[in-house]
Amino acid sequence: MADLNPVSAWRRFLALPNESRTKTLVIAFLVSTACALLVSGATVILRPIQTANRAAEQQARLEGLIAGIPGMATLLAEEGGTLSTVVIDLDTGHAAQDVTPDNLPTALEDAANWTKLDPAKDLAGIGRRPDYAQVYLLRDTEGDISVAVLPIAGAGYNGPIDAILALQGDMNTVAGLAITGQSETPGLGARIEEVAWLRQFPGRKIADAADRVRISVVQGEASNEFEVEGITGATRTSNAMSNILRFWAGPDGYGPFFDAVRRGEF
């Protein structure tokens, strides 16, 4: 007759020889369950704090980027140190009607607010692009835009690369670039985060007089105002950066927004 008392069943289980198949399986199962509970518990409980940390870091990098642009510190002082935040519609380039910075995350949870990209056009390798983007505008005393700060993203060699591109008021001169997230190879591709490399960007031009996007990261020395020298030994990451910049500066990226700014809409 089977003994259904769980306590004595547990005792009989523990008394099994360690090499028995039942005991091996049950121990493996119990240990994995306990560990799984521990790990998922820790992850779930600590996630809100970690997300806040990452957001704070992104904010700090944004401030670092803006503070690093020449003349920006004085400008910020004149401005009272504030940036205006605008959500733009990437398809039209206009300011978004119903989406605000507060409800942008909710809006982006809806798949209808994303555009699937044709592989031929998808230089940055992102697959689909959000229809709305939050940009930061810095204005001078006359109210004209002196700097626009634009988040960009794309596929790197090992994983996604997130960056922030700052453009001067003409929407054609790079004021600065900051990498906010990447998982490239340490010592090679990961050097895109280094100030020494990023320092090349200020002053570079995005497009030529015929409005063709010309900015690129090249192997070897940069030979004109559109080119930035790549990282030796990190060809794929350099190419990825090049494509990410070209995509976001192009018609499927912030192109319509640049036109809108030039028309004086903002």
Partner 1 sequence: MATRTYLQTLTDPLIRQNPVTLQILGLCSALAVTTSLAVALTMSAALTAVLVLSAGPISLIRRHIPDSIRLIVQIIIVASMVIVIDQILQAYFFELSQSLSVFVSLITTNCLVLGRTEGFARHNPPFRALVDAFGNGLGYSLILILMGSLREVFGAGKLLGFQVLPTVDQGGWFTPLNLMLLAPAAFFMLGLIVWAIRSILPEQVEPLDHAPPNAERLVD
Where on the chain is the footprint of partner 1 (CB under 8 A)? 14, 18-20, 23-24, 27-28, 31-32, 35, 38-39, 42-43, 46, 49-50, 53, 57, 186
Residue 190 or 213: which CB sits closer to partner 1?
Answer: 190
Strand partners, 174: 167
Nearest to residue 188, comparing CAs of 226, 233, 150? Answer: 233
Task: Write the single-letter amino acid at 22.
Answer: T
User: CB of 231: closest distance to partner 1 in angstroms?
Assistant: 19
166, two tokens: 């700052």
Residue 32 or 232: which CB sits closer to partner 1?
Answer: 32
Residue 190 or 198: which CB sits closer to partner 1?
Answer: 190
User: CB of 38: closest distance to partner 1 in angstroms?
Assistant: 5
User: CB of 16: closest distance to partner 1 in angstroms?
Assistant: 9
Tell me the C-alpha distance between 52 and 138, whole Å. Answer: 25
User: CB of 66: closest distance to partner 1 in angstroms?
Assistant: 21
Residue 51 or 106: which CB sits closer to partner 1?
Answer: 51
What number of other Cβ atoms are within 10 A of residue 164's Cβ? 22
Residue 3 or 57: which CB sits closer to partner 1?
Answer: 57
Residue 43 or 92: which CB sits closer to partner 1?
Answer: 43
What is the 3-state secondary structure of the chain? CCCCCHHHHHHHHHHCCCCCHHHHHHHHHHHHHHHHHHHHHHHHHHHHHHHHHHHHHHHHHHHHHHHHCCCHHHHHHHHCCCCEEEEEECCCCCECCCCCCCCHHHHHHCHHHEEECCCCCCCCCCCEEECEEEEEEEECCCCCEEEEEEEEEEECCCCEEEEEEEEECCCCEEEEEEEEECCCCCCCHHHHHCHHHHCCCCCCECECCCCCECCEEECCCCCCCCEEECCCCCHHHHHHHHHHHHHHHCCCCCHHHHHHHHCCCC
Residue 31 or 73: which CB sits closer to partner 1?
Answer: 31
User: CB of 115: closest distance to partner 1 in angstroms?
Assistant: 33
User: CB of 260: closest distance to partner 1 in angstroms?
Assistant: 37
User: CB of 109: closest distance to partner 1 in angstroms?
Assistant: 24
